[in-house]
Amino acid sequence: MCHTTGKFIAVVLTAGLLGLPAGLSAKQRWGADLIVTRLDGSQASGELITVKPGSLLLLDAAGHDENIALAEIVSVRIVRKSKAGLFAGLGGAAGAIGGIIWGSADPELQDQGGVLLGIGIFGGSAALAGLALGAVKGIDTTFVIADEPEATVQAYWRKLQAYSREGRLKGRPTQLTAPRSRRQPPAAPSVPPPPLAAPAERRPSRWDLKLSGQGHFGTMSGSSFGDASFRVLGETGSGQGPHDATFRQWNSSGSNGFAGLALGLRYFWRERLAVEIELFDLGSSTSGVEGELRYVSAADSLTYTSYFYRNLRARFTGLLAGLAFRSARPTAFRRHILEFGAAAGPTLVRGIGAPFNPEGIPNPMGQTVILSGRAQAAYDFYLYQSLSLGAFAGFRFMGTTITGISASGIEPFFEEGIPGVDANMHLTEIFFPDLPVRASGLYWGLRLGFRL
């Protein structure tokens, strides 16, 4: 690597370190920062020192401790510091180094500013990815205590213990300094807290709504199909037909990009098992049909040919029903959820398209209803207990043959072996008894979830 490249790396590393948050050098507080909302609407905030069976002990910014009884708490919020700057700085520095290596590896790229281009592309992309990841990591966690079942509250309490100063320093040979109290109550015998009154149990929402955008991993296959025929309505006698024709079709199960939308509604009748319905609309199948139309004219006994080619598209609109299984119910402390599901149902398949010109033969069109299905796996990250972002991938079963399709329009015919400008324009009708439609294959997508 040249001396100039070494200087670039040094500059990038220095810039990355300067871009890191100043808080890295500050004294770290061991316990998490909490904001506790009481039943009367007041709030208390501070570092979580310890979690007791019936209360939380906080240390505020002034160094005073405050004991908050569990029976007084409505909700607890764990305040997280944003790591967007840190992650963006680290990602940008690492990406820029990779860009420098990429740009300096090829002498031709160096002459064209490849190093700067690599820093911009790799460093910028990595910085944006780090910024997004750091922002997600910095989202506060909020959970409700009031009206929750006792088992749920106790689970939250156990999780909170790991966020306390006591929990994080457990096993460390560190001597904790007792916090200064606002008031020094007289010594009293230890009395266990009174048992909590059984609250009215409020079950978590069982309804879940998912809006997803989908794409496909396109696959191409070719096939020939016969039994097609055409008639030249401008001819007379035997020249009019019908004449046999064989066409070749190139099928694609979908594009590699965006293909359509889906809306799913699930009801979790068990904590991990749900019944679901999904309404989707996908333009996920394209194909090309090509063939040569050949006939002998009764008027001059000459053979005339015309080359027929059309791009076809099929649209799928369906309603599926099935089952979904998730790894766990999302909670304030459980945000990463895996899900597996399968569904099947009726799907309307219809051809869509347009003619090449106002007088040409339009694309063959038709429609039918088929039974389709899909199996997929998904990952959801819950930003909040009622809002999630996710990604999924799966395999979709969709394929059929549309029958009884015909199309007619003006088609040019040339004398065989003598292609030229002058063509006989005839009104022509083509029959496709069987037109295959292929759309099965792998698909992927992103989705936005709402707990209703």
Q: Quick one: pLDDT band at residue 65, thresholds 50, 70, 90?
A: confident
Residue 191 included in any domain: no
| Claim to verify: residue 304 and residue 355 sit in the same structural domain | yes
Greater model confidence, 113 or 381: 381
Greater model confidence, 288 or 26: 288
| Claim to verify: residue 246 and residue 138 sit in the same structural domain | no
Q: Is the pLDDT of residue 247 over 90?
A: no
Q: Using CA atoms, how far apart are residues 93 and 95, in angstroms rounded to an integer?
A: 6
Residue 280: count of CB within 10 angstroms of its CB: 24
| Claim to verify: residue 169 and residue 224 sit in the same structural domain | no
**Least confidently predicted of 46-60, 70-84, 222-236, 329-343:** 222-236
pLDDT tens by residue, 377-407: 999 998 877 889 999 999 988 878 777 777 8
User: ω before 242 within 30° of 0 (cis)?
Assistant: yes
* 404 CB-near residues (< 8 Å, 6+ apart): 366, 433
Q: At 105, which CATH number?
A: 2.30.30.100
pLDDT given at position 194:
45
| Claim to verify: residue 113 and residue 249 sit in the same structural domain | no
What is the pairing mode between strands 243-252 and 180-181? unpaired
| Claim to verify: residue 364 and residue 314 sit in the same structural domain | yes
Residue 198 included in any domain: no
| Claim to verify: residue 345 and residue 296 sit in the same structural domain | yes
Report the interhelical angle of 124-137 vs 84-105 (nearest 10°): 160
Greater model confidence, 203 or 283: 283
pLDDT given at position 174:
40
Asked if 244 contacts 229 with a C-beta cutoff of 8 angstroms, the reply is yes
Q: Using CA atoms, how far apart are residues 393 and 329, in angstroms rounded to an integer?
A: 21
- Kindly report the average pLDDT of the chain as a whole number: 75
| Claim to verify: residue 158 and residue 212 sit in the same structural domain | no
Q: Using CA atoms, how far apart are residues 260 and 214, in angstroms rounded to an integer?
A: 5
Residue 179 included in any domain: no
| Claim to verify: residue 116 and residue 211 sit in the same structural domain | no
What is the pairing mode between strands 64-69 and 424-438? unpaired
Q: Of 312, 306, 305, whose CA–CA distance to 289 is shortest?
A: 312
Residue 48 pairs in a beta bridge with: 58
* 389 CB-near residues (< 8 Å, 6+ apart): 380, 381, 383, 446, 447, 448, 449
* 130 CB-near residues (< 8 Å, 6+ apart): 84, 87, 88, 89, 90, 91, 92
Q: Of 344, 341, 353, whose CA–CA distance to 318 is shortest?
A: 344
Q: Using CA atoms, how far apart are residues 115 and 91, in angstroms rounded to an integer?
A: 17
| Claim to verify: residue 219 and residue 169 sit in the same structural domain | no
Residue 234: count of CB within 10 angstroms of its CB: 16
CA 351 to mean position of chain CA atoms:
28
Greater model confidence, 52 or 195: 52
pTM for this predicted structure: 0.56
| Claim to verify: residue 19 and residue 165 sit in the same structural domain | yes
Task: Say if residue 174 is exposed, middle or buried (CB neighbours under 10 Å; 0-12, 13-18, 19+).
Answer: exposed
Q: Using CA atoms, how far apart are residues 338 and 73, in angstroms rounded to an integer?
A: 32
Q: Of 208, 211, 220, 256, whose CA–CA distance to 444 is shortest?
A: 256
pLDDT given at position 67:
87
Write the DSSP assignment of 234-297 as a string of letters: TS-GGGG--EEEEEEEEEES--SSEEEEEEEEEE-SSSSEEEEEEEEEEEEEEEEEEEEEEEE-
* Number of domain units in the chain: 2
Which two three-digit tokens encode residue 323?
């089952």
| Claim to verify: residue 212 and residue 170 sit in the same structural domain | no
Residue 45 included in any domain: yes
- Domain limits for position 35: 3-174
Residue 398 included in any domain: yes
Q: What amino acid occupies position 173?
A: P
pLDDT given at position 21:
43
What is the pairing mode between strands 387-397 and 367-384? antiparallel
Residue 322 included in any domain: yes
pLDDT given at position 345:
96
Residue 115 included in any domain: yes
Residue 76 included in any domain: yes
| Claim to verify: residue 432 and residue 383 sit in the same structural domain | yes
**Least confidently predicted of 19-28, 125-134, 154-163, 285-294:** 19-28
Helix (H/G/I), strand (E/B), else coil: 150: helix
Cα-based distances in Å from 287 to 293, 327, 407: 19, 39, 17
Residue 219: count of CB within 10 angstroms of its CB: 14
